[in-house]
Structure 1
Amino acid sequence: MSLLDGLNPEQRAAAEHTQGPVMIIAGAGSGKTRTLTYRIAHLLEIGADPFRILALTFTNKAAKEMKDRITQLVGPAARSLWMGTFHSIFAKILRAEADHLGYQKTFGIYDTDESKSLIKKIVKDFNLDPKQYKESKVLYRISMAKNSLISAEYYAENGAFLEEDTRMRMPETGRIFLEYSNRMKQASVMDFDDLLFNTNVLFRDFPEVLLKYQKRFQYIMVDEYQDTNYAQYLIVKKLAAGHKNICVVGDDSQSIYSFRGANIQNILNFQHDYPEAVKFKLEQNYRSTKHIVQLSNSIIEHNKDRIPKEIWTDNEEGPKVHILQSASDVEEGTTVAHQIFQVRMNRQAHPKDFAVLYRINSQSKAIEDALRKLNIPYRIYGGLSFYRRKEIKDILGYFRWVVNPRDEEALLRCINNPARGIGETTLNRLRLLGALSGGGTWEGMEWLRNGSMLTPGREGFDPAKDAAWLANLGVPAEAFSSPEALLRYQQAVAGSINSSTQAKLFALMDTILSLNARFYQTDAFEMANQIWKASGLAFEYKQEETPESESRMNNVEELLNAVKTFCEEDPMMVDEETGELIAIEGVVTLDRFLQDVALLTDQDEKKEEADADKVTLMTVHAAKGLEFPYVFVVGCEENLFPAAQSLNTREEVEEERRLFYVAVTRAEKDLWLSYANRRMRWGETDFCEPSRFLLELNTTHLENPEILQKNPFAGIDFEDSDQEWKMRSGGKSFGQGNGSYGNRPGNGGRSSSFGGQNSGLRSHSGNGSGYGGDNTRGNSLGKPDFYVPKPKPDLQSGRFKKLSDLNAMPMPPAGSTGGNGASSGDFKPGQRVRHAKFGAGTIKSIEGEGANCKLIVAFDAPGVGEKTLLTKFAKVEVIG
């Protein structure tokens, strides 16, 4: 009996085709993971070396389940596969090659909270307004830049980004980005985006390293290829350039993460990248009933950017899809709760069989209230995870500090926790001592103890230039006048820390250094116990004797159990001599556990929580990859689903439609689509129209289609060649108007230039809201009479549509003029022009042409004088 006998013909054909580029288009519920699993098992069965197979996924959970299943099929050889998330695999490579990039092999990995904390400190150090420079907004800009392979140096020097940041009232973003990168490098830490960015830098700057991994990975497989961003796409493309045995699996109809940088064109253009690629389509759905499958087909067929496919199923016909209409959002919650109650009674269903899906997190309140009234248990998917609890972050902070004493965020979290009498004033002085030599707080502690830093500061550090922000903390200008003056100032700062405080600091340093010296030779579990006791936290929790402290103790015990389990599971590591992924022999050290924890994604939750017998409430983005017997999709209203800020271009609307498709295809047995006639927003009652997506449905598969009114959007289309909505009859364009939905409080105005909101975003793992954590929306306007055109983002305007190839970084794409400014042919010397800021003036001369055209203009206004303007950015109009 063949290993592949359990696959259907299409799945088997895809699994057996092992040579050359392969694209597997897998519809919802079509057995995508099963096919990929059996394909890898088949490769091993026919003799492929597991060390030379690279399989990339988006969650650790998916990787573990696939590896476990492959092990069952072919035995222990599966343990040697290079299989994991993009971030975990490339973190392994970066640790093995850390010396090339100037990092320690034990570099730390910051999560979003730690990155935000660092940005908050930089904003404070630069004396900027924290309300204007919200760390979530700044981090979003930084994250999207890195995922577009734009370095901090290039960002800070590029006028287009400055113009865009100024428009967003954050003109100092480039300087913050640069300082953020410098401090991260000094502390030998990376964030999630750095794992992709630095892998690209490694392969660009060290071709011998790229060649090594090209030779190693004979077979490359990528799951969920439609969700890859530019950084991931380029890494995969470079690695596959060797053997070209690349297999990508995905569904263009489920590409819903553009706000994280994902680019649907990666999968749509795969055959352009690899003209010889063979394409397989998995179109048989094993999940849903016929009515649900055929209804979902009727949704996605309205998209133009898609790979044609017709999903079908042999499952039962099932009930038709139900449309629920409610008078208000409160009534909608009550209606959904009563439906769940009735189905449970009539079909003997369990609470865990139900899911309620919504577009944004704030919609859950009405559902929660109604479920509580009926005593129906529920859970909010993506709530506070185990590893984000304070006591867990505290002890993990100590683990990180021991492994890397220069980890600034870990140090600041732990240095006075539990309380040691080391106050904010002392910490500021330590930061000063370190910063004046190009280091951090740990280097300041070294300076205090030794009169100099033991570890090198930032390469090429110039305190007068690179630490000028310290003037905001009261450092006098004369301290920078000479090396001797700087030394005297540092000595004065050190002398201002009293002897008793110094003694506490030195004792703590001794503890950290003593543990650090042992951790390479000590089992991770034993080291974790030693740190737990040495930290003082164990003593503090025991002394409190409260229910809260007991709960904290239990959670820490659970963490130590996790360390023990990790040590016993025989994890894999990169052999630094051969570069092969091998089972660890001997001591499993604590830094490996920390990497494993740092790379957990939102879906890598504890199994007992996932199996809890409760109704699941979650955003549609968070639901991707999951399935439930009974699904309710609520808030199916225009300007909510689709979201109002995603109505400006056809591409945006098509992604919203794909998101709706994802919601519908989560259902196995029965599906309800719900909308309300009015909804409370910002204390006002909005009157709502049913979503255009409801009105696009094939009514053959609806139980009660008469509920839906005539489509108010009939006849509206989006033409490929333009950026304005137009009527099919006559093609009349609608201009801009005053119907800006996005300017309500809490929304931050129109969507940001990266395609998401102006709020924080976890680009490496997400938070389930779909828009980076901002769960608010403005007022619905009912039937829109027009749509405000929104320029498509591009690199040269600071908006990251076109992405420069890393080989040419930091130069923008060749042949691109960028921006929307006028060309050199529009201007002549002597012309009168008007500038939006400087007023009227006369062109004196013109330099350059095309993208480099500059105007030298003498402006009339007193004090303005002569200015040199780059035409592609300057907003100048000819007036005479």
Structure 2
Amino acid sequence: MVGMQEELPADFGPHAYESAAYDGASGADAVLAGLDPEQRAVATALHGPVCVLAGAGTGKTRAITHRIAYGVRSGVYQPQQVLAVTFTARAAGEMRGRLRQLGAEGVQARTFHSAALRQLQYFWPRAIGGEVPRLLERKVQLVAEAAGRSGLRVQRTELRDLTSEIEWAKVTQIVPDDYPAAVAKTSREAPRDPAEIAKVYATYEQTKRDRGVIDFEDVLLLTAAILEDRPEIAERVRAQYRHFTVDEYQDVSPLQQRLLDRWTEGGASLCVVGDASQTIYSFTGATPDYLLNFRTRHPEATVVKLVRDYRSTPQVVHLANGLLAKARGQAAQHRLELISQREAGPEPVYLEYTDEPTEAESTAARIKALLGQGVRASEIAVLFRTNGQSEVYEQALADLGVSYQLKGAERFFERPEVRDAVMLLRGAARAGDDPLTDGAPDLAGQTRAVLATRGFTPEPPAGSGTVRERWESLAALVRLAEEFAAARAKAGLPTDLAAYVTELDARAAAQHAPAVEGVTLASLHAAKGLEWDAVFLVGLTEGTLPIIYAKTDEQVEEERRLLYVGVTRARVHLTLSWALSRSPGGRASRKPTRFLDGLRPGSGSAGPRAKGGKGGVEYGAERPAGRKARGPVKCRVCDRTLTEAVERKLRRCESCPSSMDEALYDQLRGWRMAQAREQAVPAYVIFTDATLMAIAEDVPRSERELALIPGVGAMKLDKYGAAVLSLCAGEPPTDSTTDQADEASDVPFAVDDDPVDVPGEFDELA
């Protein structure tokens, strides 16, 4: 035992706090300064059990960090005997920083996995013997191997879903043999036959044992098992940690609760903090039951409710409360009615659009206006239900020169299915006579043939969100191939796979620019725990929110809570929008989400637009300056309604005669090439071929006429308009673009490196 103590890490072991010297209650009362009555009640409740029910924006982190600091500075807690547990390394790091500022250095703030891993590494030699098994940081490759060994052919797009199912089973403590019954009992939609998944699960576990590796769920399982099987080790841990605080307790899984029970046995003080109305991770195994039943398990517990909202204006809080007022289920019975502590602000704005591109462009224009009013880009967010919705907003912001960063989602060309697709297309282009593309006469057909091997089908799938998102990514590549081929054919340029792959490489390269401050694009799940001055909640239609595969009442209620999380991210400005159709000219068959019924003006009990500046639904909302309103576009030759992207840009049918000024087109392309070289960007960043063709076909004579051509947005009009009009007038281009050469010609992009904040997903040691 003595020998082992000499090897204890600095933050673990009885000796760790012996050198700490604190001057009793000196300065302790200063920690309580600035707390409201409820936060102060939390901070002074030093002996557990304590349950803090904290609504969004009510200062829960402030309350629990001040509680820990007050306990340390008053001498009630020894800092090394305190363990604060949360779900992400980012949250743990923030907590440690706050505790240091409050004079409570030495307190451990870690994720569940980080705390368990340190204990496992320390006690493994004594409890098991030998080296700790190697930690498997990524399961996907081993799951793929297990599927193969189980005799199953699994597409790459299914691997993430299979991996998620295995993780769910492990955190809910379901063994492979019991998995099919558990799926049936919980009405869970498995990505494929439960018996097949159970077989892969069992093979995966056996493969890990054969390789001598463990995964992140094993870290919790093994630590809990050691504490259960070895009483002397359990006593060592309980002697070390006497005070536990668990943040985001509504997201705890059965496996995490099992470990927490082992930690706190023997009289350790426990404080839990959570909000059942923010339970949005049940698909990972999280459950609010432990929070909601805490008083039942601990009848002597002190319960404090935090409802003073310091984040959002009364207008935003009113909408948030209204959302929960219509909720059902156990979590709804324990909802907290928030009370805003801020001054009044603008009413939430509700916007209805004809199609998704219009919604995205208008959102980008509103963001541009906020930037002009002094709101920082980093204080603005666009939040959507699925990552597949991001691309149209990336493009809309890029068109206006607004920098952005993606959080919890990958940029389009960074998505695994896109990288895989581009690799396959490159291989087919090199092969030349690839059998996959035999019989496909055009580029789009060849692209479809190649992508069919990765799950692309002519019609979208009806399944889970993951499958649909990946299909959308592949469909975008097919549409891009169609547009690229049409534009190249008109210019008399090659339209083969090699040329298309070169275009894809150029587009991908253009996205890798220096990381700068930008507007945040994020899924609603990834936005949990964050906040911004202005939030745009987009794509709020039935089938998207609630998501189409939310079948049961509880699944639908979780979707409502997801929208509640989105609403409560906003401090001041909140915009909620939806589009009636996906594409311009499409059938307006979509409906706004049911969750806004009775809340948005004109829907149910909300009645007409209220007096006194209340928000209302705006139809045909504002669009970027100089843009022609979307809708049915007619051919300027035969008056037929156009549907293809290139035809809409040219404003004529592909078969209708062209009036293009060939000499002007050549001049425009030469000028564009010079600009691209000078600014070190791909040529299409200046203008696409289709836009140059449209200019040469319908030669503009003024800025107003130039602005009407699709592809010429306000930013490009300001930057290149004078030069283009000079060329159209038969004059040399002006030097206006040269004067702007030092400006950022390409849109600055930034990728947030933080991992997705999914409870139970171990990202790094805290």
**Is residue 385 of structure 2 the alignment partner of residue 359 of structure 1?**
yes
Aligned AA for 2:143? I
Alpha carbons 1:55, 1:83 under 8 Å: kept: yes
**Is residue 366 of structure 2 the alignment partner of residue 342 of structure 1?**
no
Alignment partners' CA distance in 2, 1:311 and 1:230? 29
1:624-655: CA deviations, max 9, x gaps? 11111111000111121111211x32212221
1:45-69: CA deviations, max 9, x gaps? 1221222211101122222222222
* Cα offset, 1:766, TM superposition: 7.4
Aligned pairs for 1:254-403 within 5 A: 254-304=278-328, 305-306=331-332, 307-345=334-372, 347-383=373-409
Q: Structure 1 residues 680, 146: closer, same or farther in 2, change over 3 A?
A: farther
Q: Structure 1 residues 165, 171: closer, same or farther in 2, change over 3 A?
A: farther
Instruction: Give the aligned length.
Output: 488
* Cα offset, 1:381, TM superposition: 1.3
Give TM-score, length-normalised by structure 2.
0.59
Aligned AA for 1:619? S
Identity percentage of aligned residues = 33
Alignment partners' CA distance in 2, 1:686 and 1:203? 59
Q: Structure 1 residues 677, 154: closer, same or farther in 2, change over 3 A?
A: closer
Alpha carbons 2:83, 2:243 under 8 Å: kept: yes
Q: Secondary structure at the match of 1:622?
A: coil
Aligned pairs for 1:705-720 within 5 A: 705=616
Q: Structure 1 residues 182, 157: closer, same or farther in 2, change over 3 A?
A: farther
**Is residue 269 of structure 2 the alignment partner of residue 245 of structure 1?**
yes
Within the candidate set 166, 188, 200, 2:212 is matched to: 188
Aligned AA for 2:300? E
Per the alignment, residue 19 of structure 1 pairs with: 47
Q: Secondary structure at the match of 1:642?
A: coil
Alignment partners' CA distance in 1, 2:198 and 2:52? 41
Per the alignment, residue 61 of structure 1 pairs with: 90
* Cα offset, 1:170, TM superposition: 5.6
Alpha carbons 1:98, 1:105 under 8 Å: kept: yes
Aligned pairs for 1:546-565 within 5 A: none
Alignment partners' CA distance in 1, 2:258 and 2:151? 38
1:645-681: CA deviations, max 9, x gaps? 11x3221222111111100011111100001111259
Aligned AA for 1:695? D
Within the candidate set 627, 637, 640, 2:541 is matched to: 637
Q: Structure 1 residues 621, 160: closer, same or farther in 2, change over 3 A?
A: closer
Within the candidate set 70, 94, 105, 2:99 is matched to: 70
Alpha carbons 1:291, 1:321 under 8 Å: kept: yes
Aligned AA for 1:705? G
Within the candidate set 541, 556, 562, 1:659 is matched to: 562
Alpha carbons 2:50, 2:302 under 8 Å: kept: yes
* Cα offset, 1:277, TM superposition: 1.0
* Cα offset, 1:11, TM superposition: 0.4
Q: Secondary structure at the match of 2:203?
A: helix
Q: Structure 1 residues 239, 309: closer, same or farther in 2, change over 3 A?
A: same
Q: Secondary structure at the match of 1:256?
A: coil
1:162-183: CA deviations, max 9, x gaps? x999993363433432332233
Alpha carbons 2:405, 2:520 under 8 Å: kept: yes
After the TM superposition, which of the residue ranges 116-125 and 687-696 deviates more from structure 2?
116-125
Alpha carbons 2:528, 2:757 under 8 Å: kept: no
Could you tell me which runs of 5 or more consecutive residues in structure 1 were left unpaired when the two chains were aligned.
391-547, 549-554, 556-607, 709-764, 773-880
* Cα offset, 1:367, TM superposition: 1.3
Alignment partners' CA distance in 2, 1:344 and 1:299? 29
Within the candidate set 689, 696, 717, 2:591 is matched to: 689
After the TM superposition, which of the residue ranges 95-104 and 648-657 deviates more from structure 2?
95-104
Per the alignment, residue 212 of structure 1 pairs with: 236
Q: Secondary structure at the match of 1:348?
A: coil
Alignment partners' CA distance in 1, 2:120 and 2:273? 25
Alignment partners' CA distance in 1, 2:247 and 2:132? 28
* Cα offset, 1:139, TM superposition: 1.9
Alignment partners' CA distance in 2, 1:358 and 1:158? 31
Aligned AA for 1:676? A
Q: Structure 1 residues 186, 218: closer, same or farther in 2, change over 3 A?
A: same
Alpha carbons 1:156, 1:178 under 8 Å: kept: no
Aligned AA for 1:68? G
Alignment partners' CA distance in 2, 1:297 and 1:8? 21
1:591-613: CA deviations, max 9, x gaps? xxxxxxxxxxxxxxxxx96xx32
Alignment partners' CA distance in 2, 1:256 and 1:628? 20
Within the candidate set 538, 553, 560, 1:650 is matched to: 553
Alignment partners' CA distance in 2, 1:88 and 1:149? 20
Aligned AA for 1:129? R
Alpha carbons 1:104, 1:188 under 8 Å: kept: no
Q: Secondary structure at the match of 1:111?
A: coil
Aligned AA for 2:572? K
* Cα offset, 1:94, TM superposition: 1.1
Alignment partners' CA distance in 2, 1:654 and 1:10? 29
1:813-872: CA deviations, max 9, x gaps? xxxxxxxxxxxxxxxxxxxxxxxxxxxxxxxxxxxxxxxxxxxxxxxxxxxxxxxxxxxx
Alignment partners' CA distance in 2, 1:696 and 1:358? 22
Per the alignment, residue 203 of structure 1 pairs with: 227
Alignment partners' CA distance in 2, 1:258 and 1:691? 21
* Cα offset, 1:124, TM superposition: 2.7
Alpha carbons 1:37, 1:66 under 8 Å: kept: yes
Alignment partners' CA distance in 1, 2:594 and 2:47? 44
Alignment partners' CA distance in 1, 2:539 and 2:306? 31
Q: Structure 1 residues 129, 334: closer, same or farther in 2, change over 3 A?
A: same
Alpha carbons 1:226, 1:262 under 8 Å: kept: yes
Q: Structure 1 residues 101, 330: closer, same or farther in 2, change over 3 A?
A: farther
**Is residue 90 of structure 2 the alignment partner of residue 90 of structure 1?**
no
Q: Structure 1 residues 122, 685: closer, same or farther in 2, change over 3 A?
A: farther
* Cα offset, 1:133, TM superposition: 10
Q: Structure 1 residues 205, 263: closer, same or farther in 2, change over 3 A?
A: same
Alignment partners' CA distance in 1, 2:157 and 2:578? 37
Per the alignment, residue 174 of structure 1 pairs with: 198
Q: Structure 1 residues 259, 166: closer, same or farther in 2, change over 3 A?
A: closer
* Cα offset, 1:83, TM superposition: 2.0
Aligned pairs for 1:542-581 within 5 A: none
Alignment partners' CA distance in 2, 1:656 and 1:158? 22
Per the alignment, residue 251 of structure 2 pairs with: 227
Aligned residues: CA RMSD: 3.5
Per the alignment, residue 613 of structure 1 pairs with: 517
1:242-296: CA deviations, max 9, x gaps? 2152100111111111111110212111111111111111111111111111211
Alpha carbons 1:326, 1:332 under 8 Å: kept: yes
Could you tell me which runs of 5 or more consecutive residues in structure 2 were left unpaired when the two chains were aligned.
1-28, 417-504, 506-511, 601-605, 620-753, 762-766
Q: Structure 1 residues 239, 67: closer, same or farther in 2, change over 3 A?
A: same
Q: Structure 1 residues 259, 153: closer, same or farther in 2, change over 3 A?
A: closer
Within the candidate set 512, 518, 529, 1:625 is matched to: 529
Alpha carbons 1:323, 1:703 under 8 Å: kept: no
Q: Structure 1 residues 40, 322: closer, same or farther in 2, change over 3 A?
A: same
* Cα offset, 1:184, TM superposition: 1.9
